[in-house]
Structure 1
Amino acid sequence: MNRIKIFPKVILSFLLLFFVCSEVQGQILKKLGKRAERAVERTVENRVDREASKKTDEVLDSILEPGSKGPSTNPQVGNPLPPAGPENPGGSIGNSKDMPSKGGVKTIEVYSKFDYVPGDKLLFYDDFGNDFVGDFPSKWNTNAGGEIITMGDSPQKWLELKAGYNIYFIPDVPKLPEEYTIEFDIMGRGVQKTSSTAHLRVDLSDDEKFKEGTNFVQAHIPFCQYTPVGITIENRINNKREIRSTIKADIRDAILNKAHISIAVNKQRFRLWVNESKYIDVPRMAPEGAILHTLKFHANNFKDGQEQVFITNLKVAEGGLDLRRKLISEGSVSTNGILFDSGSANIQPQSMGIIRQISQVLQQEQGMNLMIEGHTDADGQENTNLALSQKRALAVKEALVSVYGIDGSRLRTDGKGETEPVGDNTTPDGKAQNRRVVFKKI
């Protein structure tokens, strides 16, 4: 009898609990609705981007990776760095799978219009190959500190730049001429919540030591992740500021996945690219008549021990001029600006500016035929380097034919391997000079 009386009470309690829980659950779901909706949208967008990237990579590989049967796979899953090695200063950044793009899929059209051309006379190169991990690099100076590190399984060495007020890192670059180019790779780690003011500053200054100088040009490369800050440029001419502006640029993904920075200075003109995108082109940025002969780096507003800034593969070269005129007037041009993946003939996309200029000469000079020669450094076996140089020359030819529509019958290829060095193969500078492609009229 007691059980019969208790049973309805239990049922009633369960019903009340069910309705209360349902109401609470409804309130929670209502609050989370918009957030969940946004999460679903992001997931769908990411899925579409991945599928589109996969298809685009197949097309890119057929042109930029001769001999590939399809999308390549990366054996270093989880490693933030693409493969690097003596033949590849910094690893390939050629495929969208290696360098995610927040703005969408990169295309061959982007690569084919990339107009950066590096200088042809090497002044300085450092990948820290001759330095020990844990040391400060032997070819740099600073008024603070820093050390060489490696990441994951990659042999690539990086210099960690210490952040702080009036702290500078100065490579032993000879005094900069009027026309030159600068290239380097940078990456941030632990910067997901970094300040919107955190940046790596590149200085071109008339001061040789640890001051801004009376005359300078600066580019502030942002590391902030929660909002696209943009790239700020500033100059001073006789201690008077003439330019300070911020150019819209969302480079957040690039910073996390290793960004390749290219800078070209042609007298007063200053241009800057991040990967294949040009963000800055100011015709009168540098002071007229005052040569900014010193290159410096300065990291600021990073939390010590939590947020890290790294740099590697610094290359400074005199020139960066129009190779087209030189090829037409002299009949030959040599460049170490065409880069390849380590131990392969895969052309890195930042090299397309040079190949583009060669194609323009051939399109204008319809009667011109070219010999394309590949050269390597002396690392590895001599016969391997000879075969590699031949494949690289052929890859350049195929890019001219496939991307720019040049008639292949006008192009011949040859590989010299390591047999004709122009630099010392025991130093990073010398090796960089020896890794080159030569174009000759025939």
Structure 2
Amino acid sequence: MKRTIYTVQATLTILLFFAIAPTANAQLLKKLGKVAERAAERTIEKRVDQETSEKTDQALDSILEPGSGRSSKKNPVPQGDNPPIENDDSQISSGNTSGNSSLPNSTGNQNINIYSKFDFVPGDTPIFVDDFSNEFIGDFPSRWNSNGSGELVTLTEHPNKWLKLLPGYNTAYIPDVTNLPEEFTLEFDVLATGLDKKTSSQSYIGIVISDNNTFKKGANFGKVEYSFCQFIGRGVVVENNIASKRVIRNDVSADIRNIVNQKHHVSVAVNKERFRLWINESKYIDVPRLLPANVQMQGIKFILRGTDTEKESVLIGNIKIAEGGVDLRRQLLADGKISTNGILFDSGSANIQPQSMGIIRQIYQVLQQDSSIQLKIVGHTDADGDDNKNMQLSQNRAESVKSALTSIYNVSSNRLTTEGKGETEPVSDNNTADGKTQNRRVEFIKL
């Protein structure tokens, strides 16, 4: 009751004040209006300053290059072809540290329908295949070179072993490959940990195709880098040198923040001068003349820059370099048969990995072009495991390819037959990783 009385008294007092003092009331309202106006102005100024600062950073990021003199407090960017790498040990197990990973798995149960328009076709003659399976955790992989450091690690939620890239100015990671053919493909998986809204706009992983496989900046190279930045979509940078002169340098807009924050698959196709790059099922780069004409490319280099050593790590794995990657459709029509190890399955399983859909799509296009064609799909495995299980596995894998053609591309099942041959017809040595890769293949034979 007392509170009600006080409220009524206060209300009457305010009304009486405005009733007997209209001049004071007007002055008070005027002052209040000015205060509100100044507060609004300050808010607008603060927001404009913030947005201007962000736009300025973006502009500087797009025009400044490594070695231009601009540096980050966390991570200065040096001159040279290979900028620094920084990372962190959290959520990773190695020979010297232990821990658990909480990284999400982006591809484990991904529906292959998403890849139905994927047009990457991997090479069919392996040059270099490395999943680090024969290496020791904590070591640097034996078939690679670096002018910095690195180590093999495992992660709880992701199988196999991963090369963890460690910091160092002008650091490069170079697989033992030379004399690259004119047409080849490169594939690998990437995991990044510790990314957040503070991840630098200068954090990039890069792939360099160079006229040397050393740590020197090549007179001729093509380079593509894509960003790990999370507070803004930085996209992809494409650059080259031809006869020691830069011809191309461009920032390609793309918002890949959600993609790089999860495990993702990178595919590269080099066809003479042409360079194409896919991340998962999407193509981001297709430059007709990125690489120089009539110059022998000698090496592939992985580089990293701009990540925070305190909290971020970048890891690569499942690397495959193969000669070829050309149009399989013409080969099938001309020869009546093709054999490919580019259709990948989960280990010990008939589940098709989504990045295999480029080849299956080309098979569909052949069947679509000529409705009279019928095909036999033959599955093959390597020699690991039980012979009888491998025979059944090869049959199941052939059936999975048939199912993809019928369910995704609506090919009549009457035009397709399947067969499994297990490990009975090897085409290479089952004692090496490269040989096993060649033996794990699928054949398509015109009937």
Shorter-chain TM-score range = 0.7 to 0.9
List gaps (5 residues or longer) in structure 2: 11-99
User: Could you say what secondary structure the match of 1:200 adopts?
Assistant: strand
Judge conservation of contact 1:126–1:314 (CA < 8 Å) in 2: yes
Corresponding residue for residue 444 of structure 2: 439
For the pair 1:395 / 2:400, whether they are aligned, the reply is: yes
How far apart are residue 190 of structure 1 and its match?
1.4
Question: Secondary structure of the residue that 1:196 maps to in structure 2?
Answer: coil
1:24-80: CA deviation from partner (whole Å, max 9, x where unpaired):
xxxxxxxxxxxxxxxxxxxxxxxxxxxxxxxxxxxxxxxxxxxxxxxxxxxxx9852
Q: Map 1:263-282 onto structure 2 (within 5 A).
A: 263-282=268-287
Contact 1:150/1:157 (CA < 8 Å) preserved in 2? yes
Counterpart Cα distance in 2 of 1:354 and 1:153: 29
Query: 1:113, CA displacement in angstroms?
Result: 1.1
Paired residue for 1:131? 135
Counterparts of 2:399 and 2:263 in 1: how far apart (Å)? 28
Distance 1:266 1:434 in 2: 25
Quick one: structure 1 residues 365 and 8, their matched pair in 2 at CA, closer, same or farther if it must change by over 3 Å? closer
In the alignment, the residues of structure 1 paired with residue 411 and residue 236 of structure 2 have an alpha-carbon distance, to the nearest angstrom, of: 37
Task: Tell me what 1:204 maps to.
Answer: 209
Whole-Å separation in 2 of the counterparts to 1:388 and 1:92:
22
Is contact 2:275–2:289 with CA below 8 Å preserved after alignment? Answer: yes
Quote the offset at 1:247 in angstroms. 1.3
Instruction: Using the TM superposition, give the Cα deviation of residue 293 of structure 1 relative to its aligned residue in structure 2, in angstroms.
Output: 2.0
2:155 aligned with 1:156: no
Offset of residue 219 of structure 1: 0.6
Of 80, 83, 88, which residue of structure 1 is paired with 2:103? 80
Aligned counterpart for 1:223 among listed residues 228, 231, 238: 228
1:95 aligns with 2:110: yes
What are the equivalent positions in structure 2 for 1:42-441 lying under 5 Å apart? 79-80=102-103, 82=105, 92-93=107-108, 95=110, 108=113, 110-152=114-156, 154-192=158-196, 193-441=198-446
Please tell me whether the aligned partners of residues 163 and 301 of structure 1 are also in contact (alpha carbons under 8 angstroms).
no
Amino acid at match of 1:159: L
Cα distance in 2 for partners of 1:237, 1:300 equals 23
For residues 396-427 of structure 1, what are the alpha-carbon distances to aligned partners after superposition, in whole Å with 9 as ceiling and x for unaligned?
11111222222211211000111112232232
Is 357-366 or 322-331 further displaced after alignment?
Answer: 357-366
Cα distance in 2 for partners of 1:401, 1:151 equals 36
User: CA deviation digits over 1:357-384, x for unaligned, max 9?
Assistant: 1111122233222110111122222111
Structure 1 window deviating more from structure 2 (218-227 vs 338-347): it is 338-347
The size of the alignment, in residue pairs, is 357
Partners in 1 of 2:140 and 2:6 — Cα distance? 75
Matched position secondary structure for 1:296: strand
CA distance in 1, matches of 2:324, 2:272: 11
TM-score by length of 1: 0.76
* Structure 1 pair 190–408 and aligned structure 2 pair: CA distance change class (3 A): same
Using a 3 Å threshold, how does the CA distance of structure 1 residues 113 and 294 change in structure 2: closer, same or farther? Answer: same
Deviation per residue, 1:276-327 (Å, 9 max, x gap): 0001111111111112221001111222242211000110010100001111
Instruction: Decide whether the 8 Å contact of 2:270 with 2:276 is kept in 1.
Output: yes
Farther-moved stretch of structure 1 (353-362 vs 402-411): 402-411
* TM-aligned CA deviation for residue 12 of structure 1: 7.9
Query: Residue type of the partner of 1:173?
Result: V
CA-CA distance at 1:258 after TM superposition: 0.9
Distance 1:134 1:81, change over 3 A: farther
Q: Are 2:101 and 2:157, in contact at CA under 8 Å, matched by a contact in 1? A: no
- TM-score, length of structure 2 as denominator length: 0.75
Identity percentage of aligned residues: 54
Alignment check: 8 A CA contact 1:92 1:341 kept = no
Q: How far does the alpha carbon of each residue in 1:242-281 deviate from its partner, in whole angstroms, 9 at most, with x for none?
A: 1111112222222221110000010111110000000111
Structure 1 gap segments, 5+ residues each: 1-6, 17-76, 83-90, 97-106
Shift of 1:227: 1.2
Equivalent residues of 2:193, 2:313 under 8 A apart: yes
Counterpart CA distance in 1 for 2:205 and 2:130 is 18
CA contact (8 A) 1:162 1:299 kept: no
Cross-structure match for 1:71: none
Distance of 2:159 and 2:413 partners within structure 1: 38
Partner of 2:41: none
CA contact (8 A) 2:177 2:298 kept: no
Task: Classify 1:236/1:94 alpha carbon distance in 2 versus 1 (closer, same or farther; 3 Å).
Answer: farther
Q: 1:83-136 deviations in whole A, cap 9, x for unaligned?
A: xxxxxxxx945516xxxxxxxxxx83x422111100111111101000000000
**For residue 73 of structure 1, what is the aligned residue in structure 2?**
none
| Deviates further, 226-235 or 159-168 | 159-168
C-alpha spacing 1:405/1:190, structure 2 compared with 1 (3 Å): same
Instruction: State the Cα distance separating 1:187 from its structure 2 match.
Output: 1.3
| Paired amino acid for 1:160 | K
Does structure 2 retain, via aligned residues, the 8 Å contact 1:335–1:437?
A: yes
For 2:351, give the aligned amino acid: N
Q: Which moved more, 1:265-274 or 1:173-182?
A: 173-182
> Cα deviations across residues 155-212 of structure 1 (Å, max 9, x unaligned)?
4200011233211110012421100100000111112222100111110000220022
Secondary structure of the equivalent of 1:417?
A: coil
